[in-house]
Amino acid sequence: MADLTTYFAGIRSNNPFWLASAPPTDKAYNVERAFRAGWGGVVWKTLGEDPPIVNVSSRYGAVSLGGAAMAGFNNIELITDRPLSVNLREITQIKRDWPDRAMVVSLMVPCNETAWTKILAQVEQTGADGVELNFGCPHGMSERGMGAAVGQVPDYIEMITRWCKSHSRMPVIVKLTPNVTDIVQAARAAKDGGADAVSLINTITSITNVDLDSMSPCPSVDGRGTHGGYCGPAVKPIALRMVGEIAREPALRGLPISGIGGISSWRDAAEFIALGAGNVQVCTAAMHYGFRIIDDMISGLSNWMDGKSYSRIADFQGLAVPNFVHWDDLNLNYKSIARIDQDLCIRCGLCYAACEDTSHQSIATSNGDGARHYNVIEAECVGCNLCAHVCPVAACITMIPVHTGLPALTWKEHPNNPSSPHFTGTTDRA
Amino acid sequence: MSAQKIINFTPCPCQASQNGNYLAFWVKPDVLVNKFIDEPDGICNIFRCRAGHVIPLARKDIGTWMADIDDHFRESHPPLTSAQAVTEANRCYFCYDAPCTEACPTDIDVPGFIRGIASGNMAGAAIKILQENIFGGSCARVCPTEILCEHACVWTKAGGPAVQIGALQRVATDWQMAQPTHPFIRAPATGKHIAIIGAGPAGLSAAHGMARRGHDVTVYDTKPKPGGLNEYGIAAYKLVDDFAAREIEFLLGIGGITLEHNKTLGDDLSLDDLARNFDAVFLALGQAAVNMAGVTGEHLPSVRNAVDFIAELRQAPDKSALKIPRRVLVIGGGNTAIDAATQAKLLGAEDVTILYRKGRAQMSATAIEQNWALTHHVVIHFHAAPVRIESETGELCVVTESRRYPADLVLRAVGQKFHPLDGLEIENGRIKIDQNHATSHPKIFAGGDCVPGLDLTVRAVQDGKCAARAIHEFLGCD
C-alpha cells in the first residue's frame, strides 16, 4: 500500500490533500469536520487586521454546463469576517487536538512591515505549522492594496516574503495570483524573498454571468455585481500550465509547489503532482460535495500508485515535467489518425458534424444498409482529436499512431523555419 | 362498513383505492362479490375498483367513490416538471442527421427543439415542433414513440433509456398553448377557398397549413364536434382535460378556418358540388366503418363496436354514470382493443379479457400498450380466434376452438375500414392518391386514414401538412 505522507515545505501531513484557504476552513467547526473526514491539512481562511472586513450577500456565481452544476465557480467573498482573536483561539485549539494534520494559516495585512511582524507573532503562538501569504485575492482586497495587488508586482512579493522570513520561524508559502502575464516572474520573486514554497493558482478575475432580467452581473448584490475570483474544474487547465511553467524553470528547481485549481478527484491531484506539485489544495469540489470526497481521493490515489508501483508521492512527482516542452520541441513527423469502433458507435454523428463543419472533412457518412455509418477517411485525417473529444461514448474513437518511417523533426530543425539551420526557402531579409 | 368489519378484511391492492381517502381499503372479495352479483341486472357499476376489487362502501361514501372514478381516468403519463424537462433535455446528444427525426413521420427537428428546452428558449422549441406538426401537443401524448422517435434514439444503443422525446415535446407545446397569441402569422389573403371533409388530425392539419398560406378554408364534419379520433377515439387517460378540444381551439387561432358540423358527405354534401364550388377539396374522411369479426352471433344485442364504446365513454359528462357489466370480452389485437379493454376495467368491470387470434409478436398494439393493459389486470389470451358468439343458454358466450368465454358484453375491435365512396379511384379499399395527395379527380386531394398507409395520428397530420403544400402549388401559388 502506497505511503501518501508528504513533507511539504517541511510540514508533515498524512496525505497530500489540503483544504485551500476559503470558506471551508474559516472556523473550527468546519475544520474539525474536515479532519474527521480525513483531510491531511488545511490552510486556514485568510486572517487580516481587526476590525474584520464585512462581506456581502450573495457571494457566489457558478457556471453549469449541460446540466452539470459548478463546472466553474466564482466568489466575491473577502477574507475572514471574524475577529482575529477568535480565529487565533480556534487555530490553537485545532492544532492541539489534531497534531498530525497540517495547519497552515493564510495571511493578508497591509503592505507595511509592522503589520506583518505583528500578525506573524500572533500566528506563531497558535502552534500553526506555517503561513501562506495571500497575494492572490482578485477582488475587494486588491482595491485596498492587498491580495492580487501585491501578487501582480514581483518586487512587492519579494519584499513581503522577506519580511515574513525574517520575522518568523515558520515556513512561508507564497500563494500566487494567475492574473499576471508571466507566472514565473512571480514565483522567482517569491523565491528571491526566501519563500519556502509557492502555492497556485489563486482565483481568476471573472464575471460568471449576467442576469438578463435585472441586467446585473452575477452574483448580484442588490442589483449590482462585481468581478470575482473564478475557480472550479474549468480552471484546472490554466492552473496545470502555471504549475508546469514553474516546475520546469531551471532557476526555480527545488522550489516546492502546492498545486491548486479545480482539483476534484485523485486523478486531478495525480496530474498536478506529475507536473511537479508536492501536494495539492482543494476547495470547490469540497464546497460542491462536502468533505466526504476525500475518501475516494485517498483510496483512488493510493490504488493508482500501487498499480504503478509508486510507493511514495515523491516517486512520481514531476515525472511529466521533462515532457512539458515548448511547441517547437514537438516532433512534426509524428502522426496519429482517428479510428471509430463500429461496435461501440451509437450513430449520433457528432464526429461527422464536428469534422465536416469545423475541421478537415475526414469522416465519411454512409447509409447503405439502412443504418448510419461513420468512417474515418485516413488520407484526410490530420489526427486533431476533435472527433474523439465530441464522441459521447468512452473509447469509441481512439487515436492510433501511424508509423511514418520518418525521424523525429522539430520546428527548430524544420526546413520551413527561417530560423532553422536547414531552412530551404528565402526570406525578405535574405 | 360495520357489517363488513366482522369479516376477515384484507387490504385492497388497488393503487387507486390506496390513493383515495374513501373507505375502500378493506375488502373480503368472496363475500362482497356475492353480494353485488346478486343485483338484479348483474351490473356492478361503481362498486368495484379498477382492478376488480369490490369496494364495500357505506352509502354516505358513494359520493366520494363517484368522484374518484375520475381518478381512474387520470392522465396515464403526467407531464414533466420544468426541472425534469431541463434534465431530460440535457441528455440529448444533439445528433447530426438525427435518427429520431428520421423516424418521425412529421419530420420534426427533434434535437433542435430539445436544445431550445435545454437553453430556455421555449418559443423556439415550440415553433420547431408546430411548424412540422400542428398537432404536436396531441402527438406528444398519443404517438407510439416507443416504435418511432424514441425507438431510434441513440441512447438505446448507448446503454441508457431513450430521451423522453414525447414528454419533452409536450412541455414545449403545452408552453405554447398557454401563451395568449398564436405562433404563426397568416400570409396575405389569396382569395382561394378550399373545402375539407373531415375535422380530424389530417383535415385540420391541412386546414391550418392552407390557412397559413392565406387561403380560406371550410371544414365539414359529420360529427357534432371537431377532432376526429382525438375527440372520439383515443383512450380518455391519454388526452385528459378536454385536450383535443383545446388543441383545436389553439389551431383555429390562425384564422381563416370555418367549421361546419353535422355535415355528411353523400347526405348533405356531394363531391361534385364541392369540386364545383371550391378551388380545391381535401378529403380526410378517416375510416368510418368497422370490420366485422366474421362469426355468427355478431349481431346479438350485447356485441358492440369498441370504437362506439370508446366514443360514448369519451363523450360522457359523468363516467360514473356509465354502466359497465361484470365480464367484458374484447376481440382484437390493436390499440383500440387495448384502449377498450383497459377503459372497461377502469369503469369497474370485474373480468376483462382480450381475445386475439394470433401471437404476442403479431399484435399491432405495441409492447408498451400491451403492458399497460396487463398492469390494469386485463387478461390477454393469444391464439384465441372466436368461431361464434352464442346466447342459447341465456348467457352470452364467445366460443373459440378450445374454450368458451362467458361474457356480459363483447367489444369488437378488429379494425376499421374506409367507408366506400363513389366517383374516385380506390386502391386496397382506400382512396388512391399520388405523391402529391391528388386523387383521380383533378380538384380533389385526400389524406389520413382514408388513403393507404399507417393508421397513426402523426401520419395523418403529415398527410394534411403535405397536402396543404401540394394544394397550394396546385392553385398556382408560390
- CATH code of the domain in which A350 resides: 3.30.70.20
For residue A427, is it within any domain?
no
Nearest chain B Cα distance for residue A289, angstroms:
19
For residue A424, is it within any domain?
no
Q: How far apart are CA B251 and CA B271, in angstroms?
A: 26
Tell me: pLDDT of B65 over 60.
Answer: no
Tell me: pLDDT of B478 over 90.
Answer: no
Q: Does B388 touch chain A (CB under 8 A)?
A: no
Q: Are B385 and B361 members of one domain?
A: yes
Number of domains comprising chain B:
4
* Closest C-alpha among B149, B79, B155, B70 to residue B117: B79
Q: Are B216 and B275 members of one domain?
A: yes
Q: What is the distance between the terminal CA atoms of chain A, rounded to a whole angstrom? A: 63
Nearest chain A Cα distance for residue B157, angstroms:
5
For residue B185, is it within any domain?
no
Does the ipTM exceed 0.95? no
Whether the CB-CB separation of A16 and A259 falls below 8 Å is answered with no
Q: Are A80 and A197 members of one domain?
A: yes
Reported as a pLDDT band with limits 50, 70 and 90, residue B5 is: very low
Q: Are A315 and A353 members of one domain?
A: no
Cis amide prior to A110 (ω within 30 degrees) = no
Residue B85, H or E segment = helix B82-89
Q: Which of residues A367 and A105 earns the better pLDDT score?
A: A105
Q: Do A346 and B158 touch (CB under 8 A)?
A: yes
How does pLDDT run across B74-99, given as a tens digit for each residue?
888 889 999 999 999 999 999 999 99
Q: Do A349 and B95 touch (CB under 8 A)?
A: yes
Whether the CB-CB separation of A233 and A65 falls below 8 Å is answered with no
For residue A423, is it within any domain?
no
Last residue of a domain, one of A300, A323, A346: A323
Tell me: pLDDT of A137 over 90.
Answer: no
Whether the CB-CB separation of B232 and B123 falls below 8 Å is answered with no
For residue A421, is it within any domain?
no
For residue B407, is it within any domain?
yes
Most confident among A200-204, B41-45, B345-349 (mean pLDDT):
A200-204
Tell me: pLDDT of B62 over 50.
Answer: no
For residue B308, is it within any domain?
yes
Using CB atoms and an 8 Å cut-off, which of residues 162-201 of chain B contact chain A? Answer: none
Q: Are A226 and A131 members of one domain?
A: yes
Q: Do B158 and A67 touch (CB under 8 A)?
A: no
Last residue of a domain, one of A308, A323, A338: A323
Number of domains comprising chain A:
2
Q: Do A66 and B118 touch (CB under 8 A)?
A: yes
Considering CB atoms only, which of B87, B99, B158 is closest to A67? B87
Provide the b/e sequence for B304-338 (b: ≥16 CB within 10 Å): ebbbebbbebbeeeebbebebbbbbbbbbbbbbbb
Q: Are B408 and B377 members of one domain?
A: yes
Q: Are B270 and B314 members of one domain?
A: no
- The domain that contains B269 carries what CATH number? 3.50.50.60
Q: Do A346 and B97 touch (CB under 8 A)?
A: no
Tell me: pLDDT of A385 over 80.
Answer: yes
Nearest chain A Cα distance for residue B467, angstroms:
27
Q: Are B296 and B330 members of one domain?
A: yes
Q: Are B302 and B351 members of one domain?
A: yes
Residues whose CB falls within 8 Å of the CB of residue A47, separated by 6 or more in sequence, listed in order: A79, A80, A84, A87, A88, A105, A106, A107, A108, A119, A123
DSSP readout, B176-243? HHTSSS-S--PPPP---EEEEE--SHHHHHHHHHHHHTT-EEEEE-SSSSS-THHHHTS-TTTS-TTH
Last residue of a domain, one of B416, B440, B457: B416
For residue B448, is it within any domain?
yes
Q: Are B170 and B123 members of one domain?
A: yes
Q: How far apart are CA B367 and CA B352, in angstroms?
A: 18
Cβ-Cβ contacts under 8 Å between A and B: the total is: 36
Q: Identify all chain A residues contacting B98, using CB atoms and an 8 Å cutoff.
A: 349
Q: Are A284 and A369 members of one domain?
A: no
Q: Does B94 touch chain A (CB under 8 A)?
A: yes
Q: How far apart are CA A248 and CA A261, in angstroms?
A: 19
Q: Does B22 touch chain A (CB under 8 A)?
A: no
Q: Does A373 touch chain B (CB under 8 A)?
A: no
Q: Are A364 and A316 members of one domain?
A: no
For residue A173, is it within any domain?
yes
Q: Are A232 and A355 members of one domain?
A: no
For residue B119, is it within any domain?
yes
Reported as a pLDDT band with limits 50, 70 and 90, residue A429 is: low
Considering CB atoms only, which of A66, A353, A365 is closest to B90? A66
Q: Which of A111, A137, A348, A351 is catalytic?
A: A137
Q: Are A51 and A172 members of one domain?
A: yes
For the residues B109-121, what does the mean pLDDT come to? Answer: 96
For the residues A368-384, what does the mean pLDDT come to? Answer: 91
Cβ of B169: how many Cβ atoms within 10 Å? Answer: 30
For residue B182, is it within any domain?
no
Q: Which candidate in A347, A352, A359, A374 is best for mutational testing of the B interface (most B CBs within 10 A)?
A: A347
How does pLDDT run across B277-326, given as a tens digit for each residue?
999 999 999 998 999 999 999 999 999 999 999 999 999 988 877 888 88
Considering CB atoms only, which of A67, A352, A393 is closest to B90? A67
Q: Are strands B397-400 and B404-406 parallel, antiparallel or unpaired?
A: antiparallel
Q: Does B97 touch chain A (CB under 8 A)?
A: yes
Q: Do A348 and B93 touch (CB under 8 A)?
A: yes
* Percent above pLDDT 90 for chain A: 93
Reported as a pLDDT band with limits 50, 70 and 90, residue B68 is: low
Q: Are strands B409-412 and B430-431 parallel, antiparallel or unpaired?
A: unpaired
For residue A429, is it within any domain?
no
Last residue of a domain, one of A323, A351, A369: A323
Q: Do B96 and A349 touch (CB under 8 A)?
A: yes
Q: Identify all chain B residues contacting A365, using CB atoms and an 8 Å cutoff.
A: 97
Q: Are A163 and A289 members of one domain?
A: yes
Q: Are B465 and B439 members of one domain?
A: yes
For residue A338, is it within any domain?
yes
* Closest C-alpha among B335, B357, B23, A239 to residue B12: B23
Residues whose CB falls within 8 Å of the CB of residue B417, separated by 6 or more in sequence, listed in order: B287, B289, B290, B291, B429
Nine-digit cell string for B382: 393469444
Cβ of B103: how many Cβ atoms within 10 Å? Answer: 18
Q: Which candidate in B96, B156, B163, B168 is best for mutational testing of the A interface (most A CBs within 10 A)?
A: B96
Q: Which of residues A284 and B15 earns the better pLDDT score?
A: A284
Q: Are A178 and A238 members of one domain?
A: yes
Q: Are B343 and B280 members of one domain?
A: no
Q: Does B90 touch chain A (CB under 8 A)?
A: yes
Q: Are B310 and B409 members of one domain?
A: yes
For residue B157, is it within any domain?
yes
Q: Are A280 and A344 members of one domain?
A: no
Q: Do A350 and B94 touch (CB under 8 A)?
A: yes
Tell me: pLDDT of B20 over 80.
Answer: no
Q: Does B242 touch chain A (CB under 8 A)?
A: no
* Percent above pLDDT 70 for chain A: 99
Q: Identify all chain B residues contacting A347, using CB atoms and an 8 Å cutoff.
A: 95, 99, 154, 157
Whether the CB-CB separation of A140 and A78 falls below 8 Å is answered with yes
Angle at A377 between CA A374 and CA A380, to 5 degrees: 140
Q: Does A71 touch chain B (CB under 8 A)?
A: no
Please report, as a single letter, which amino acid is at residue B50: R
* Percent above pLDDT 90 for chain B: 76
Q: Are B335 and B366 members of one domain?
A: yes
Q: Identify all chain A residues contacting B110, using CB atoms and an 8 Å cutoff.
A: none
Reported as a pLDDT band with limits 50, 70 and 90, residue A44 is: very high
Q: Which candidate in A64, A342, A346 is best for mutational testing of the B interface (most B CBs within 10 A)?
A: A346
User: In which domain, by residue range, is A107 found?
Assistant: 6-323
* Closest C-alpha among A238, A280, A230, A236 to residue A257: A280
Q: Are A368 and A314 members of one domain?
A: no
Q: Identify all chain A residues contacting B86, using CB atoms and an 8 Å cutoff.
A: 67
Residue B392 is predicted with a pLDDT of 85
Please report, as a single letter, which amino acid is at residue B377: H
Last residue of a domain, one of B38, B72, B106: B72
For residue A425, is it within any domain?
no
- The domain that contains A280 carries what CATH number? 3.20.20.70
Q: Does B26 touch chain A (CB under 8 A)?
A: no
Last residue of a domain, one of B28, B54, B72: B72
User: In which domain, by residue range, is B217 found?
Assistant: 193-288+425-474
Per-chain mean pLDDT for chain B: 86
Q: Are B205 and B275 members of one domain?
A: yes
Q: Are A386 and A237 members of one domain?
A: no
Tell me: pLDDT of A68 over 80.
Answer: yes
Whether the CB-CB separation of A313 and A372 falls below 8 Å is answered with no
Residue B58 is predicted with a pLDDT of 40
Q: How far apart are CA A118 and CA A107, in angstroms?
A: 11
For residue B123, is it within any domain?
yes
Catalytic residue list contains A137: yes
Per-chain mean pLDDT for chain A: 96
